[in-house]
Structure 1
Amino acid sequence: MFTGIVEIVGVVSKLDIKDSSKSGGNGVSLTIKNAAKILEDCHIGDSIAVNGTCLTVTEFDEDSFKVGIAPETLKKTCLDQLLEGSKVNLERAMAIGFRFGGHFVQGHVDSTAKIISVKPDENSLWFEFNVLDESLMQYIVPKGFICIDGTSLTVCDVDYQKNTFNIMLIAHTQENTIMTSKAAEDLVNIEVDMLGKYVGSVVQGALSSDSSTISSTIKQLIDIAIDKKLESLDKK
């Protein structure tokens, strides 16, 4: 579990498509340097979020660490676009007893989104994104949470017809993440709010089940929502 508060920006020092080393196992591996700050308490098997993707440490030294990337992870993320020298957002898994500054982030990337535009607004930047998996739009709400390349951000506006949303990046976030290196047409990893997914799953399960098994509370909420929708249609 992560918070979406980026601890440090690291640099890709090696991307091995077929790593034949013992820890690589003939799979895809990624070695990241300039990461000393987050390696002081590191152990083999620890989780580190790389651009919002939870990956397992297989090797490390004082300044760098290596992680393996599964085929499914490559399909869901844009990690395959990283090159040697690419900068990446890094965050260690949450530790018990510390302040919780972001939101609940699993590091399980849902999909990618394409940057439509980047517009300055005084010392802030507005980013607009197109979500490539339209089924995720139901979990993206104005003033809700979203994790973009491992950064916990607040959604500003949403256009459900166009499958787009935007966020505003303050100066501090610009200086401490990789977002300012992104431009229109670039892809980013996104993870929608996990609490929204759980609530959506419960409601969908209730709607698809036999009405006699639906709890009274959920049934009441569904009935209220239907009544309000019918009222709005009548007014039109």
Structure 2
Amino acid sequence: MFTGLIEHTTPISSITPSSSSSGFTFTFSDAAPILGDCAIGDSICINGACVTVTAFDAVENGGWFKVGLAPETLNRTNLGQLNVGDKVNCERAMSAHTRFGGHMVQGHVDTTANIVSKVPDGNSIRFTFELPSGSTHYLAYIVEKGFITLDGASLTITLVDEEKAQFGVMLIPHTQEILTLTKKAVGESVNVEVDLVGKYVLGSEKRIEGIVDRIVEKKLKDKGLI
């Protein structure tokens, strides 16, 4: 479990095909700030995806660690689009004594979304994202002033446009300094994890449809139409 509060950004130093599967091994460098209490098998959230540390050294080359990315992770996230030198947002799994300043983040990416606009607003930046056609059902869990996780960062939703399948967030100056999102351009993608609470309350798409059907049926019965 994570909080969505990014601890560190670190560059990819190498990407190699896995010898035992169709996945890849990613190595990240300059990672010492998040390796002080690291152990093999620990979970680290990389751009919103919970992955497992398979090797690390907290000192050599500024600190480095390796993770394996399976096909499911590559298909579900934007990690397969990254190249050597690209930076990623990192957060270690939360500890029992951590201040809970973000929201409950599983590190299970639901889908990706594309940046459709990036507009300065004073010293802040307003981002608008659009869900792909096959993922518009996730709008049921995206509500204005609710939480959303983008590339691992806990952010507040400032806009929802259901007709366009779009939503927006605003980055204040402090957040701009921390996140890799600031440097992304229109057309690039982000990993999206919708609010866990919404998932448990509403359930699956089929369950949501069932709730709507029952409400409509009740309204029609109340009006004597069925």
- Largest Rg, 1 or 2: 1
- Residue 27 of structure 1 and its aligned partner are, at CA, apart by 3.4
Aligned residues with identical type, % of pairs: 51
User: Residue type of the partner of 1:46?
Assistant: D
Corresponding residue number in structure 2 for 1:178 = 180
d(CA) in 1 for partners of 2:204, 2:73: 26
d(CA) in 2 for partners of 1:36, 1:56: 17
Q: CA deviation digits over 1:167-217, x for unaligned, max 9?
A: 000001100111111010001100000110111118954975xxxxxxxxx
Match of 2:39 among 37, 43, 53: 43
2:192 paired with 1:190: yes
- Residue 11 of structure 1 and its aligned partner are, at CA, apart by 0.5
Native 8 Å contact 2:110 2:193 kept in 1:
yes
Does the residue aligned with 2:101 lie in a helix, a strand or coil?
A: coil
Corresponding residue number in structure 2 for 1:98 = 98
Native 8 Å contact 2:126 2:168 kept in 1:
yes
Give unpaired runs (5+ residues) of structure 1: 209-220, 231-236
Q: What pairs with 1:1-236 in structure 2 (closer than 5 Å)?
A: 1-16=1-16, 18-20=17-19, 27-62=23-58, 63-132=63-132, 133-201=135-203, 205=207, 208=210
Distance change >3 Å, CA 228–CA 183, structure 1 → 2? farther
Aligned alpha-carbon RMSD (Å): 2.5
Aligned residues: 215
d(CA) in 1 for partners of 2:93, 2:68: 17
Distance change >3 Å, CA 57–CA 225, structure 1 → 2? same
Does the residue aligned with 1:114 lie in a helix, a strand or coil?
A: strand
User: Residue type of the partner of 1:125?
Assistant: I
d(CA) in 2 for partners of 1:187, 1:2: 21
d(CA) in 1 for partners of 2:205, 2:74: 30
Distance change >3 Å, CA 226–CA 32, structure 1 → 2? same
User: Residue type of the partner of 1:27?
Assistant: G
Distance change >3 Å, CA 226–CA 122, structure 1 → 2? same
Does the residue aligned with 1:128 lie in a helix, a strand or coil?
A: strand
Give unpaired runs (5+ residues) of structure 2: 221-226
Does the residue aligned with 1:57 lie in a helix, a strand or coil?
A: strand
d(CA) in 1 for partners of 2:129, 2:199: 20
d(CA) in 1 for partners of 2:178, 2:219: 44
d(CA) in 2 for partners of 1:156, 1:180: 17
d(CA) in 2 for partners of 1:150, 1:138: 20
d(CA) in 2 for partners of 1:206, 1:8: 37
Distance change >3 Å, CA 83–CA 168, structure 1 → 2? same
d(CA) in 2 for partners of 1:83, 1:229: 54
The normalised TM-score by structure 2 is 0.88
- Residue 117 of structure 1 and its aligned partner are, at CA, apart by 0.8
